[in-house]
Amino acid sequence: MMVRTSSLGSCSTWYSRSFDLPGDSSEPTAVGGAMLPIFLNDLRRHGNGEGRESVEVVTVDLMDNAAAGLPANQPLANGFLARSTSAASRLRRMFSWRSTRKSTSDGEDQHQAAVAAAREMMRMKTKMMRNKSSAQRALGGLRFINKSTGGGSDANVMWKQVEARFDVLAKDGLLSRHDFGECIGMGDSKEFAVGVFDAVARRRRQKIGGITKAELHEFWLQISDHSFDARLQIFFDMVDSNGDGKITRDEVQELIMLSASANRLSHLQERAEEYASLIMEELDPHHLHYIELWQLEALLLQRDNYINYSRALSTSSIGRGQNVSTTFNFKPTNLVENWQRTWIPLLWVMAMAGLFTWKFLQYRKRAAFQVMGYCLTTAKGAAETLKLNMALILLPVCRNILTWLRSTKASLFIPLDDNINFHKVIACAIAIGTILHAGNHLTCDFPRIIRSTPQEFALVASDFHAVKPTYKNLLTGVVGLTGIAMVTFMTIAYSLATQSFRKNGVKLPKPFNRLTGFNAFWYSHHLFGLVYILLLIHGTFLLLVHKWYQKTTWMYISVPLLLYTAERSLRTCRGELYAVKILKVSVLPGGVFSLIMAKPNGFKYKSGQYVFLQCPTISPFEWHPFSLTSAPGDDYLSVHIRTVGDWTQELKQVFTEDNSSACVIGRAKFGALGNVLQAGQPKLLVDGPYGAPAQDYRNYDVLLLVGLGIGATPFISILKDLLNNTRQDDQLVAYMDSNTETSRSDDSSNSFTSSSSTGKKKSARTRNAHFYWVTREPASFEWFKGVMNEVAEMDCKGQIEMHNYLTSVYEESDARSTLITIVQALNHAKHGVDILSGTRVRTHFARPNWRDVFNKVAAKHPCSTVGVFYCGTPVLAKELRKLSQESSSQTSTRFEFHKEYF
């Protein structure tokens, strides 16, 4: 018999080892499970990862079933060992079994001998298959102690932390079995930790309820051992709960349930029996109803092969680093990107400084300066900046204007993505200007006028009708009252707009709890309507200024105020025009529901844009923004709404709950998809569409889309649009192919083909998209399950890569996730469905390594422009922006970062 091992890396090495087994050889069969030979063939074609060590694959020349003493018409059982039963024939030739007739009992004995021989052969192959690199990879997926459990990477530091926790938890010098998990850092997986405790105790042939510190140290040394054999033995002992050296299906099922419980995956617990049968089918092809240590070892050694097969092979076909430079190369594009984000704030600061200086010097030369001094010049300089900022603060929230600017060349040099940030910065400048202006007047200017001598007052007497005012007169005058009122309204609006109030971070007793939340923010912001009216009055009755053209407040704010008023009027009229009909309401897990609405006539939008919704039944004043999840080519509009506030909760109740209200349209079952038919449905108004960063995705060769939780909504629309475009391209190609078989003289056909091709060339710049969806709850995958399956099925060209990450599950290198990872890979390879998401897209555990993500994209798409679009919390945005800049500097790929927050 000839045994061959082949490397799956870029370089193949072949060698042979001879075994003294006579007989002819037939077609070679690869070592592995029932599905593994298919995986290995694909891996040979596509390569085996990036920068990995070679994985040896052992192939053994064996005979057919008949030579092994099995019936010719009986197919070999599927599984890890099925392909080696014919090896028994070679062993039997050594014993010269020549009898022509065998009794039934002799046949059974031979069959059992053949099975035993085949198992022994596979045990030997498993030992041959193990090498340093494969054991190291398997070891990486079987860690009982890591940084999250141990609190660090240094062994001594980790043990000192365990000792400190022992001193707190131990009673009478003994650590309870149930406190073992909290002591070693598995406080959130106590049941799993108890399983580890029992496994180690069984190895010591002990059955104890508590351990001393010395015994804890021995336990710690065993579970933190860096050798593969030690960890494998502990893991095997965890499964082998009765300690007989054999693992049954029930024991596998029990550990699956334990792992699912540790990772808070309740739906996996419900299907634990099915997944245990899947593992036994793979490892026990001879139906002995148990598996042994070496079989579990073989599965762990081949773990990466299963996982790699369930991933997109195209991502691993390009070696990392080929597009990475070791030196820092400063690119002009970085300067351009930074200039785009800084020139407007720089210009704004210069304008404020110029206005402040101009007004300061102007009043420095006036007679009033002799009375009030630098308090007056500072107050007037601050007032001039306030006029500018009260005008500018309206422009970043004129959404229709910004949406229009995105379609013009102005988007090339105006950072439209930062409009809300600029709005907030201007608001801070207004607050500072108000403090300087009002503070100097109230604490310095007014007291100086009151205490001025008759000679000093005579310099400004004409401004006060020759009557020296009191402090009360100054406060109760038109200027004083309007100023105090403006400061009061602005203080209320500013306070309720802070994140702690707007996000319900402040907990107030009833009825003051109504001062928190989005509603309080929304309504309090409308106080600025009164502020602008008071500002115009305040600017008209200024002290120390008499000529109308010197009263410049109206000159600053009139145009922006008119633009904003027109903007709000347009939104109101358009909202009344776009009263939509609800086609379907689906209640989804995770506190999310979706609305599918009829598309209004003339409603045109781009993927990535958003709309405002208003339900007059709830409130005739509140408009709330939601990203569209439908594609422009769809004949409907859809949004996915997460119920995180009062308004969204009420909207869900209006459309799904039966509360005996005349406006309720029906009831949908919670926790499942439900269709709601319309009969007397409440009115729903749509305003939009409005521009968003993601709408410009067609300007890039490659897309890197990153969504956190519900932040995936704008990218779902983009994926749908890309899929629709691909489908149209295929139809166009089919049409053109059919035209080549017919006459080319048909002018209408040629015209159609030409116009269609021109349209495609104009809009189809984007070649590939990489979608990363990071979510905390497994139920979230139900939100866009249909879209993912459709993309996975229709994307034959590999244009779209989808990556789901579930952060509530421990990373794949953690022992608590080892069995789940194996079951996931086996099920995905056999059925093509992920056990966590229920889609064809494989789910990864924990959070992505974003640096690796950028390196892979850069390696796969050299000399390309990648649009990085992010929707989620601000924390991750900083990291992604930094990585975009670094990757653009260190590779030939240019990354441009865009963000939007929810």
pLDDT digit string (tens) for 791-824? Answer: 877 777 778 888 999 888 888 777 787 788 888 8
Retrieve residue 262's tokens: 């540790």
In whole angstroms, what is the distance from residue 413 CA to residue 409 CA? 8
User: What residue has token string 């180690």?
Assistant: 200
pLDDT at 23: 38
pLDDT at 10: 35
Burial zone of 801 (CB within 10 Å; 0-12 exposed, 13-18 middle, 19+ buried): buried
In angstroms, the first-to-last Cα distance of the chain is 65
Q: Which amino acid is at 324?
A: V
Q: Which residues of the chain have pLDDT under 70?
A: 1-112, 115, 118-120, 122-142, 146-154, 228, 301-338, 340, 658-680, 729-764, 901-902
Domain boundaries, the chain: 2-129, 142-306, 343-565, 578-691, 695-739+761-807+847-901
**Is beta strand 56-61 parallel, antiparallel or unpaired with respect to 175-176?**
unpaired
Q: Is 467 helix (H, G, I), strand (E, B) or coil?
A: coil
pLDDT at 742: 55
pLDDT at 375: 92
Burial zone of 83 (CB within 10 Å; 0-12 exposed, 13-18 middle, 19+ buried): buried
User: What residue has token string 């060339």?
Assistant: 761
User: What residue has token string 């015994």?
Assistant: 215
pLDDT at 115: 66
Q: Which residues contact 137 (CB under 8 A, 6 or more apart)?
A: 303, 304
CA distances from 39 to 42, 80, 131 (A): 5, 13, 20
In whole angstroms, what is the distance from residue 266 CA to residue 774 CA? 19
- At the fourth CATH level, the homologous superfamily of domain 578-691 is Translation factors (2.40.30.10)
Retrieve residue 611's tokens: 């709309």
pLDDT at 704: 94
Rounded (5°) CA angle 367-368-372: 135
pLDDT at 430: 96
Beta bridge partners of 814: 143
Q: Which residues contact 566 (CB under 8 A, 6 or more apart)?
A: none
In whole angstroms, what is the distance from residue 394 CA to residue 408 CA? 21
Q: What CATH number should be reported for the domain whose range is 695-739+761-807+847-901?
A: 3.40.50.80
Please count the other Cβ atoms lying within 10 Å of the Cβ belonging to residue 466. 9
Contacts 24+ apart (CB under 8 A), 43-49: 43/8, 43/305, 43/308, 43/309, 43/313, 44/6, 44/8, 46/313, 46/314, 46/316, 46/317, 47/8, 47/9, 47/10, 47/316, 47/317, 48/8, 48/9, 48/308, 48/316, 49/308, 49/316
**Residue 325 DSSP code:** -
pLDDT at 295: 76
Please count the other Cβ atoms lying within 10 Å of the Cβ belonging to residue 584. 17
- 629: closest CA among 588, 663, 569, 661? 588
**Is beta strand 624-627 parallel, antiparallel or unpaired with respect to 610-614?**
antiparallel
Q: Is 687 helix (H, G, I), strand (E, B) or coil?
A: strand
Please count the other Cβ atoms lying within 10 Å of the Cβ belonging to residue 93. 13
- 10: closest CA among 40, 52, 39, 42? 52
Q: Is 310 helix (H, G, I), strand (E, B) or coil?
A: helix
In whole angstroms, what is the distance from residue 360 CA to residue 377 CA? 5
Q: Is 496 helix (H, G, I), strand (E, B) or coil?
A: helix
CA distances from 798 to 465, 723, 770 (A): 82, 11, 10
pLDDT at 125: 62
pLDDT at 162: 87
Domain 142-306 has CATH 3.20.20.450: no
- 237: closest CA among 279, 203, 275, 193? 203
Judge contact between 246 and 239, C-beta under 8 A: no
Rounded (5°) CA angle 404-406-409: 105
